[in-house]
Structure 1
Amino acid sequence: MADRDATAPRRRRGRPRGGRTEAREQILAAAATEFGDRGYDGATIRTIAERAGVDSALVHHYFGTKADLFAAAIDIPINPASAIPEVIGTDLDTAGERLVRFVLELWDRPAFRDRGVAMLRSVIGNRRTASLMVGFVSRELIRHIGERIAPGDEGRTRASLVASQVVGLMVTRYVLELEPIASTPVDDLVAAMGPNLQRYLTGPLTPAASA
Protein backbone atom coordinates (compact mmCIF):
# COMPACT_ATOMS: atom_id res chain seq x y z
CA MET A 1 0.00 0.00 0.00
CA ALA A 2 1.44 3.36 -1.01
CA ASP A 3 2.41 5.86 1.62
CA ARG A 4 -0.54 8.20 2.05
CA ASP A 5 1.67 11.24 2.68
CA ALA A 6 3.59 10.59 -0.51
CA THR A 7 0.49 10.38 -2.71
CA ALA A 8 -1.57 13.15 -1.11
CA PRO A 9 -1.50 16.40 -3.09
CA ARG A 10 0.52 19.16 -1.53
CA ARG A 11 -1.26 22.31 -0.58
CA ARG A 12 -0.04 25.19 -2.70
CA ARG A 13 0.23 28.72 -1.42
CA GLY A 14 -2.22 31.06 -3.08
CA ARG A 15 -5.71 32.16 -2.17
CA PRO A 16 -6.58 30.82 1.30
CA ARG A 17 -9.75 28.88 1.89
CA GLY A 18 -12.66 31.12 2.72
CA GLY A 19 -13.88 34.40 1.30
CA ARG A 20 -12.26 37.73 0.54
CA THR A 21 -12.78 39.00 4.09
CA GLU A 22 -11.02 36.00 5.60
CA ALA A 23 -8.09 36.38 3.21
CA ARG A 24 -7.68 40.08 4.01
CA GLU A 25 -7.85 39.48 7.74
CA GLN A 26 -5.30 36.68 7.45
CA ILE A 27 -2.89 38.98 5.62
CA LEU A 28 -3.48 41.88 8.03
CA ALA A 29 -2.78 39.66 11.03
CA ALA A 30 0.44 38.43 9.43
CA ALA A 31 1.44 42.00 8.55
CA ALA A 32 0.87 43.26 12.09
CA THR A 33 3.05 40.48 13.48
CA GLU A 34 5.74 40.88 10.84
CA PHE A 35 5.98 44.65 11.22
CA GLY A 36 6.13 44.23 14.97
CA ASP A 37 8.85 41.58 14.83
CA ARG A 38 11.04 43.01 12.06
CA GLY A 39 10.23 46.73 12.00
CA TYR A 40 9.05 48.59 8.94
CA ASP A 41 12.32 48.27 7.01
CA GLY A 42 12.82 44.59 7.84
CA ALA A 43 9.34 43.40 6.92
CA THR A 44 8.68 42.70 3.24
CA ILE A 45 5.66 41.72 1.20
CA ARG A 46 7.31 38.33 0.66
CA THR A 47 7.84 37.59 4.35
CA ILE A 48 4.33 38.78 5.18
CA ALA A 49 2.90 36.53 2.47
CA GLU A 50 4.89 33.57 3.78
CA ARG A 51 3.61 34.18 7.31
CA ALA A 52 0.05 34.40 6.00
CA GLY A 53 0.47 31.29 3.83
CA VAL A 54 -0.42 33.07 0.59
CA ASP A 55 1.32 34.24 -2.58
CA SER A 56 2.91 37.68 -2.63
CA ALA A 57 0.68 38.53 -5.59
CA LEU A 58 -2.39 38.16 -3.40
CA VAL A 59 -1.00 40.64 -0.88
CA HIS A 60 -0.38 43.14 -3.68
CA HIS A 61 -3.85 42.45 -5.06
CA TYR A 62 -5.58 43.30 -1.79
CA PHE A 63 -3.31 46.05 -0.45
CA GLY A 64 -1.00 47.37 -3.18
CA THR A 65 2.33 48.54 -1.78
CA LYS A 66 3.99 47.82 1.55
CA ALA A 67 3.12 51.37 2.64
CA ASP A 68 -0.56 50.75 1.84
CA LEU A 69 -0.47 47.49 3.79
CA PHE A 70 1.17 49.22 6.76
CA ALA A 71 -1.54 51.90 6.79
CA ALA A 72 -4.20 49.18 6.77
CA ALA A 73 -2.43 47.20 9.49
CA ILE A 74 -2.34 50.18 11.86
CA ASP A 75 -5.95 51.02 10.92
CA ILE A 76 -5.72 54.51 9.45
CA PRO A 77 -8.09 55.32 6.58
CA ILE A 78 -5.50 57.01 4.35
CA ASN A 79 -1.94 56.24 3.38
CA PRO A 80 0.10 59.42 4.01
CA ALA A 81 2.96 58.04 1.91
CA SER A 82 0.86 58.51 -1.22
CA ALA A 83 -1.46 61.34 -0.14
CA ILE A 84 1.07 63.91 1.10
CA PRO A 85 3.39 63.81 -1.95
CA GLU A 86 0.29 64.33 -4.11
CA VAL A 87 -0.70 67.36 -2.02
CA ILE A 88 2.77 68.85 -2.40
CA GLY A 89 2.66 68.16 -6.15
CA THR A 90 5.00 69.90 -8.53
CA ASP A 91 4.10 73.51 -7.64
CA LEU A 92 6.38 73.87 -4.65
CA ASP A 93 5.90 77.63 -4.44
CA THR A 94 2.39 77.22 -2.93
CA ALA A 95 2.80 73.83 -1.25
CA GLY A 96 3.22 75.08 2.34
CA GLU A 97 -0.34 76.31 2.80
CA ARG A 98 -1.78 73.36 0.85
CA LEU A 99 -0.04 70.92 3.14
CA VAL A 100 -1.22 72.59 6.36
CA ARG A 101 -4.80 72.75 5.05
CA PHE A 102 -4.76 69.11 3.97
CA VAL A 103 -3.57 67.92 7.39
CA LEU A 104 -6.04 70.04 9.35
CA GLU A 105 -9.08 69.23 7.21
CA LEU A 106 -8.24 65.54 7.32
CA TRP A 107 -7.70 65.43 11.09
CA ASP A 108 -10.79 67.52 11.78
CA ARG A 109 -12.91 64.63 10.47
CA PRO A 110 -14.11 62.79 13.60
CA ALA A 111 -13.59 59.30 12.14
CA PHE A 112 -9.98 60.05 11.23
CA ARG A 113 -9.22 62.06 14.37
CA ASP A 114 -10.23 59.26 16.73
CA ARG A 115 -7.94 56.74 15.09
CA GLY A 116 -5.18 59.27 14.51
CA VAL A 117 -5.10 60.34 18.16
CA ALA A 118 -4.99 56.71 19.29
CA MET A 119 -2.08 56.09 16.91
CA LEU A 120 -0.13 59.13 18.11
CA ARG A 121 -0.63 58.22 21.76
CA SER A 122 0.62 54.72 21.02
CA VAL A 123 3.69 56.10 19.27
CA ILE A 124 4.46 58.53 22.09
CA GLY A 125 4.02 55.95 24.86
CA ASN A 126 5.55 52.84 23.31
CA ARG A 127 9.19 52.63 22.22
CA ARG A 128 8.58 49.66 19.92
CA THR A 129 5.68 51.39 18.16
CA ALA A 130 7.70 54.59 17.93
CA SER A 131 10.58 52.75 16.25
CA LEU A 132 8.19 51.17 13.78
CA MET A 133 6.63 54.53 12.91
CA VAL A 134 10.02 56.19 12.52
CA GLY A 135 10.96 53.57 9.94
CA PHE A 136 7.77 54.20 7.99
CA VAL A 137 8.06 58.00 8.12
CA SER A 138 11.75 57.96 7.18
CA ARG A 139 11.43 55.60 4.22
CA GLU A 140 8.00 56.45 2.84
CA LEU A 141 7.52 60.13 3.70
CA ILE A 142 10.80 61.94 4.28
CA ARG A 143 12.64 60.15 1.47
CA HIS A 144 9.91 60.63 -1.14
CA ILE A 145 9.05 64.19 -0.16
CA GLY A 146 12.74 65.08 -0.02
CA GLU A 147 13.25 63.83 -3.56
CA ARG A 148 10.58 66.25 -4.79
CA ILE A 149 12.07 69.22 -2.96
CA ALA A 150 15.82 69.11 -3.53
CA PRO A 151 18.57 66.59 -4.25
CA GLY A 152 20.41 64.58 -1.61
CA ASP A 153 20.80 65.64 1.99
CA GLU A 154 19.19 69.03 1.44
CA GLY A 155 15.93 67.41 0.38
CA ARG A 156 15.90 65.07 3.37
CA THR A 157 16.67 67.95 5.74
CA ARG A 158 13.87 70.07 4.33
CA ALA A 159 11.41 67.16 4.44
CA SER A 160 12.40 66.38 8.03
CA LEU A 161 11.78 69.98 9.07
CA VAL A 162 8.36 69.90 7.42
CA ALA A 163 7.57 66.62 9.19
CA SER A 164 8.59 68.10 12.56
CA GLN A 165 6.14 70.98 12.11
CA VAL A 166 3.27 68.78 10.91
CA VAL A 167 3.68 66.23 13.71
CA GLY A 168 4.00 69.03 16.26
CA LEU A 169 0.76 70.56 15.00
CA MET A 170 -1.08 67.23 15.21
CA VAL A 171 0.10 66.56 18.75
CA THR A 172 -0.62 70.10 19.95
CA ARG A 173 -4.10 70.41 18.42
CA TYR A 174 -5.46 66.87 18.66
CA VAL A 175 -3.61 65.01 21.42
CA LEU A 176 -2.76 67.71 23.96
CA GLU A 177 -5.68 69.93 22.82
CA LEU A 178 -3.63 72.94 23.81
CA GLU A 179 -5.51 76.22 23.57
CA PRO A 180 -5.80 78.39 21.61
CA ILE A 181 -4.38 76.05 18.91
CA ALA A 182 -7.04 73.41 19.59
CA SER A 183 -9.91 75.74 18.72
CA THR A 184 -8.29 78.04 16.16
CA PRO A 185 -10.13 77.97 12.81
CA VAL A 186 -8.42 76.09 10.01
CA ASP A 187 -8.03 79.19 7.82
CA ASP A 188 -6.21 81.04 10.61
CA LEU A 189 -3.79 78.17 11.22
CA VAL A 190 -3.14 77.83 7.49
CA ALA A 191 -2.31 81.55 7.30
CA ALA A 192 -0.05 81.35 10.37
CA MET A 193 1.81 78.11 9.64
CA GLY A 194 1.78 77.93 5.85
CA PRO A 195 4.63 80.45 5.36
CA ASN A 196 6.80 78.60 7.87
CA LEU A 197 6.37 75.28 6.06
CA GLN A 198 6.94 77.10 2.78
CA ARG A 199 10.31 78.34 4.03
CA TYR A 200 11.30 74.77 4.90
CA LEU A 201 10.20 73.62 1.45
CA THR A 202 11.79 76.29 -0.73
CA GLY A 203 13.27 79.10 1.35
CA PRO A 204 16.69 79.63 2.93
CA LEU A 205 17.56 77.24 5.73
CA THR A 206 20.20 79.48 7.29
CA PRO A 207 19.92 83.14 8.29
CA ALA A 208 21.21 85.59 5.72
CA ALA A 209 24.65 86.94 6.51
CA SER A 210 24.52 90.41 7.98
CA ALA A 211 26.04 93.19 5.91
Structure 2
Amino acid sequence: MAEERGRRPGSPPTRTSILEAAVAAFTAQGYGQTTIRAVARAAGVDPALVMHFFGSKEGLFRAAIEHSMPVRLMAEALDGDPEHIGERLVTRYLSLWEHPAHGPRLTAILQAAAATPAAADLVTNLTRVDLLGPLAERLPGDHAETRALLAASQLVGMAMFRYVLKVDPLASLPVGRVAALVAPNVQRYLTGTLSLDELTVSGR
Protein backbone atom coordinates (compact mmCIF):
# COMPACT_ATOMS: atom_id res chain seq x y z
CA MET A 1 0.00 0.00 0.00
CA ALA A 2 1.42 3.36 -1.00
CA GLU A 3 2.29 5.89 1.66
CA GLU A 4 0.11 8.91 2.11
CA ARG A 5 1.27 11.86 0.10
CA GLY A 6 3.85 14.00 1.87
CA ARG A 7 4.56 11.43 4.57
CA ARG A 8 8.05 10.09 4.99
CA PRO A 9 9.05 6.78 6.58
CA GLY A 10 10.28 6.82 10.16
CA SER A 11 13.98 6.48 9.29
CA PRO A 12 16.93 8.24 10.93
CA PRO A 13 17.10 10.79 8.07
CA THR A 14 13.44 11.58 8.72
CA ARG A 15 14.16 12.20 12.40
CA THR A 16 16.97 14.53 11.38
CA SER A 17 14.65 16.37 9.01
CA ILE A 18 12.14 16.87 11.82
CA LEU A 19 14.86 18.17 14.13
CA GLU A 20 16.12 20.60 11.51
CA ALA A 21 12.59 21.86 10.94
CA ALA A 22 12.10 22.20 14.70
CA VAL A 23 15.35 24.13 15.14
CA ALA A 24 14.32 26.51 12.35
CA ALA A 25 10.87 26.98 13.88
CA PHE A 26 12.09 27.56 17.44
CA THR A 27 14.74 29.98 16.13
CA ALA A 28 12.35 31.98 13.95
CA GLN A 29 9.17 31.89 16.06
CA GLY A 30 10.23 31.10 19.60
CA TYR A 31 9.09 28.29 21.85
CA GLY A 32 5.59 29.58 22.52
CA GLN A 33 4.60 30.07 18.88
CA THR A 34 6.04 26.81 17.57
CA THR A 35 3.60 23.91 17.18
CA ILE A 36 4.00 20.22 16.50
CA ARG A 37 1.74 20.56 13.46
CA ALA A 38 3.82 23.38 11.96
CA VAL A 39 7.07 21.47 12.47
CA ALA A 40 5.54 18.36 10.89
CA ARG A 41 4.33 20.38 7.92
CA ALA A 42 7.79 21.91 7.41
CA ALA A 43 9.42 18.48 7.60
CA GLY A 44 6.86 16.90 5.28
CA VAL A 45 5.65 14.32 7.78
CA ASP A 46 2.50 13.53 9.72
CA PRO A 47 2.27 15.14 13.20
CA ALA A 48 1.82 11.65 14.62
CA LEU A 49 5.35 10.80 13.48
CA VAL A 50 6.75 13.80 15.35
CA MET A 51 4.94 12.61 18.48
CA HIS A 52 6.22 9.07 17.88
CA PHE A 53 9.83 10.25 17.88
CA PHE A 54 9.68 12.94 20.56
CA GLY A 55 6.52 12.37 22.63
CA SER A 56 5.62 16.02 23.20
CA LYS A 57 6.55 19.58 22.33
CA GLU A 58 8.88 19.61 25.35
CA GLY A 59 10.57 16.45 24.09
CA LEU A 60 10.95 17.97 20.65
CA PHE A 61 12.43 21.14 22.15
CA ARG A 62 14.89 19.11 24.24
CA ALA A 63 16.03 17.16 21.18
CA ALA A 64 16.25 20.36 19.12
CA ILE A 65 18.47 21.94 21.78
CA GLU A 66 20.71 18.89 21.88
CA HIS A 67 20.80 18.87 18.07
CA SER A 68 21.56 22.57 17.65
CA MET A 69 23.22 23.79 20.85
CA PRO A 70 27.01 23.71 20.35
CA VAL A 71 27.66 21.90 23.62
CA ARG A 72 30.64 19.98 22.24
CA LEU A 73 32.29 23.16 20.94
CA MET A 74 31.80 24.86 24.30
CA ALA A 75 33.05 21.82 26.21
CA GLU A 76 36.28 21.80 24.18
CA ALA A 77 37.24 25.03 25.94
CA LEU A 78 37.36 23.14 29.23
CA ASP A 79 40.52 21.30 28.21
CA GLY A 80 43.77 22.86 29.34
CA ASP A 81 45.24 24.38 32.47
CA PRO A 82 42.83 25.78 35.09
CA GLU A 83 44.80 29.04 35.30
CA HIS A 84 43.51 30.18 31.89
CA ILE A 85 40.14 28.43 31.78
CA GLY A 86 38.22 31.71 32.21
CA GLU A 87 39.80 33.22 29.11
CA ARG A 88 39.19 30.05 27.08
CA LEU A 89 35.54 29.80 28.14
CA VAL A 90 34.70 33.44 27.49
CA THR A 91 36.50 33.51 24.14
CA ARG A 92 34.76 30.36 22.92
CA TYR A 93 31.38 31.47 24.29
CA LEU A 94 31.55 34.81 22.50
CA SER A 95 32.71 33.18 19.26
CA LEU A 96 29.64 30.93 19.30
CA TRP A 97 27.28 33.85 19.91
CA GLU A 98 28.92 35.77 17.07
CA HIS A 99 28.67 32.80 14.68
CA PRO A 100 25.99 33.33 11.98
CA ALA A 101 24.47 29.87 12.54
CA HIS A 102 24.97 29.31 16.27
CA GLY A 103 24.11 32.84 17.39
CA PRO A 104 20.43 32.91 16.33
CA ARG A 105 19.89 29.44 17.78
CA LEU A 106 21.41 30.41 21.10
CA THR A 107 19.24 33.52 21.13
CA ALA A 108 16.11 31.42 20.57
CA ILE A 109 17.11 29.03 23.36
CA LEU A 110 17.78 31.85 25.83
CA GLN A 111 14.54 33.62 24.95
CA ALA A 112 12.58 30.38 25.38
CA ALA A 113 14.22 29.70 28.73
CA ALA A 114 13.37 33.22 29.93
CA ALA A 115 9.75 33.05 28.78
CA THR A 116 8.65 29.47 29.41
CA PRO A 117 9.19 27.45 32.63
CA ALA A 118 9.17 24.14 30.75
CA ALA A 119 11.83 25.38 28.37
CA ALA A 120 13.85 26.80 31.26
CA ASP A 121 13.85 23.42 33.01
CA LEU A 122 15.05 21.69 29.84
CA VAL A 123 17.85 24.18 29.27
CA THR A 124 18.89 24.06 32.94
CA ASN A 125 19.05 20.27 33.03
CA LEU A 126 21.00 20.04 29.78
CA THR A 127 23.45 22.72 30.92
CA ARG A 128 24.00 21.09 34.30
CA VAL A 129 24.68 17.65 32.83
CA ASP A 130 26.71 18.54 29.75
CA LEU A 131 28.56 21.71 30.77
CA LEU A 132 28.47 22.59 34.46
CA GLY A 133 29.18 19.05 35.63
CA PRO A 134 32.26 18.59 33.42
CA LEU A 135 33.43 22.10 34.30
CA ALA A 136 33.16 21.44 38.03
CA GLU A 137 35.14 18.21 37.66
CA ARG A 138 38.07 20.15 36.22
CA LEU A 139 38.24 22.76 38.98
CA PRO A 140 40.68 22.41 41.87
CA GLY A 141 39.65 23.16 45.42
CA ASP A 142 36.31 23.31 47.20
CA HIS A 143 32.83 24.40 46.06
CA ALA A 144 33.51 23.51 42.42
CA GLU A 145 29.81 23.18 41.55
CA THR A 146 29.00 26.57 43.06
CA ARG A 147 31.96 28.14 41.28
CA ALA A 148 30.83 26.70 37.95
CA LEU A 149 27.31 28.03 38.51
CA LEU A 150 28.60 31.52 39.35
CA ALA A 151 30.69 31.54 36.15
CA ALA A 152 27.69 30.38 34.13
CA SER A 153 25.54 33.16 35.59
CA GLN A 154 28.14 35.69 34.44
CA LEU A 155 28.17 34.28 30.91
CA VAL A 156 24.40 33.98 30.55
CA GLY A 157 23.83 37.47 31.94
CA MET A 158 26.38 38.92 29.54
CA ALA A 159 24.75 37.15 26.59
CA MET A 160 21.29 38.30 27.62
CA PHE A 161 22.27 41.98 27.76
CA ARG A 162 24.56 41.91 24.71
CA TYR A 163 22.75 39.63 22.25
CA VAL A 164 19.11 39.36 23.32
CA LEU A 165 18.26 42.72 24.91
CA LYS A 166 21.05 44.49 22.96
CA VAL A 167 21.78 47.00 25.69
CA ASP A 168 24.50 49.54 24.86
CA PRO A 169 27.31 50.11 25.41
CA LEU A 170 27.77 46.37 26.02
CA ALA A 171 26.04 45.43 22.76
CA SER A 172 28.35 47.68 20.73
CA LEU A 173 31.67 46.81 22.33
CA PRO A 174 34.14 44.86 20.17
CA VAL A 175 34.22 41.16 20.97
CA GLY A 176 37.83 41.27 22.09
CA ARG A 177 37.07 44.07 24.54
CA VAL A 178 34.14 42.16 26.03
CA ALA A 179 36.33 39.08 26.43
CA ALA A 180 39.04 41.12 28.16
CA LEU A 181 36.51 42.61 30.59
CA VAL A 182 34.57 39.44 31.42
CA ALA A 183 37.27 36.74 31.44
CA PRO A 184 39.04 37.89 34.65
CA ASN A 185 35.79 37.77 36.61
CA VAL A 186 34.93 34.31 35.27
CA GLN A 187 38.44 33.17 36.19
CA ARG A 188 38.00 34.58 39.70
CA TYR A 189 34.76 32.68 40.12
CA LEU A 190 36.38 29.44 38.98
CA THR A 191 39.77 29.47 40.71
CA GLY A 192 40.08 32.65 42.79
CA THR A 193 39.56 33.26 46.48
CA LEU A 194 35.86 33.45 47.32
CA SER A 195 34.02 33.55 50.66
CA LEU A 196 31.96 30.42 50.05
CA ASP A 197 32.38 28.50 53.29
CA GLU A 198 29.36 30.13 54.89
CA LEU A 199 27.04 29.29 52.00
CA THR A 200 24.34 26.75 52.71
CA VAL A 201 24.12 25.56 49.10
CA SER A 202 25.82 22.29 48.25
CA GLY A 203 29.30 22.78 46.84
CA ARG A 204 32.31 20.66 46.05
TM-score, length basis structure 1: 0.65
- Of residues 89, 108, 116, the one that matches 1:118 is 108
The alpha-carbon distance between structure 1 residues 121 and 32, as it changes in their structure 2 partners (threshold 3 A), is: farther
- Cα offset for 1:85? 3.0
The alpha-carbon distance between structure 1 residues 203 and 35, as it changes in their structure 2 partners (threshold 3 A), is: farther
The runs of 5 or more residues in structure 2 that have no matched partner are 1-7, 23-49, 197-204
- Contact kept, 8 Å, 2:69 with 2:105, in 1: the verdict is no
Tell whether 2:96 aligns with 1:74: no
Q: Which amino acid aligns with 2:177?
A: D
The match for 2:165 is 176
The alpha-carbon distance between structure 1 residues 35 and 93, as it changes in their structure 2 partners (threshold 3 A), is: farther
* TM-superposition CA deviations, 1:3-39 (whole Å, max 9, x none): xxxxxxxxxxxxx9565422535789456436826xx
Question: Partners in 2 of 1:107 and 1:123 — Cα distance?
Answer: 16
- Of residues 143, 146, 150, the one that matches 2:133 is 143
The match for 1:21 is 13
The match for 1:33 is 55
Question: Partners in 1 of 2:161 and 2:109 — Cα distance?
Answer: 14
Question: Partners in 1 of 2:121 and 2:11 — Cα distance?
Answer: 34
Find the structure with the greater CA-based Rg: 1
TM-score, length basis structure 2: 0.67
Question: Partners in 1 of 2:114 and 2:157 — Cα distance?
Answer: 12
- Cα offset for 1:162? 0.8
The match for 1:100 is 90
**Root-mean-square deviation over aligned CA pairs:** 3.0
Q: Percent identity?
A: 33
